[in-house]
Structure 1
């Protein structure tokens, strides 16, 4: 089974110039913990609820003025939609990741894969 068959295709995005307060409100509204960060060039980072807590709230940054681009993860770990699911899951376990951006072979964001997606499909 390939990642493209089990991933989440409908992905909410955020731009690096948005505030953390806005990002957190979107996460709450959509009940998600991961946002791919995009600009005109494509995927430039990722933002998780954990990033907000550890990189902004804990050090006392102001969520209303701090930008997503200031704390997002820029070293993006990703997989491709045509990769075998079992191999991607093993890689996620080895790297202690809960979710990954999924790209197509033209390096465009195609979706997101999470450990929940694997469990839903019995992998």
Structure 2
């Protein structure tokens, strides 16, 4: 059994803090992913790193963080491929934000995708 790794970088453009950013990035291993006893492909994704910047009216700004979210998962769509799905959000505390659309964030997320591959025949 071989284990394969892929690093997927997802850039987050300027996004309103009142919204979540969502993206899907394809990943392929070039070899069939092994199935477990329950017929599921043995593949998973983990957060490798991230960097967020907060913007107010387009300028970098500091604020007290009210909450942040980085959610990653892997959607399978083939015997050797799939896509990393990212949902991210950063928001200021309620007293600072007060529904102000001028608060935005941008950044980058790196995901580590790991898969067990079928043995070569």
The answer to whether the superposition gives a TM-score over 0.5 is no
Structure ID, larger Rg: 2
TM-score (norm 1): 0.25
* Larger relative contact order, structure 1 or 2 (CA cutoff 8 Å, min sep 6): 2
More strand by share: 2
More helix by share: 1
TM-score (norm 2): 0.25
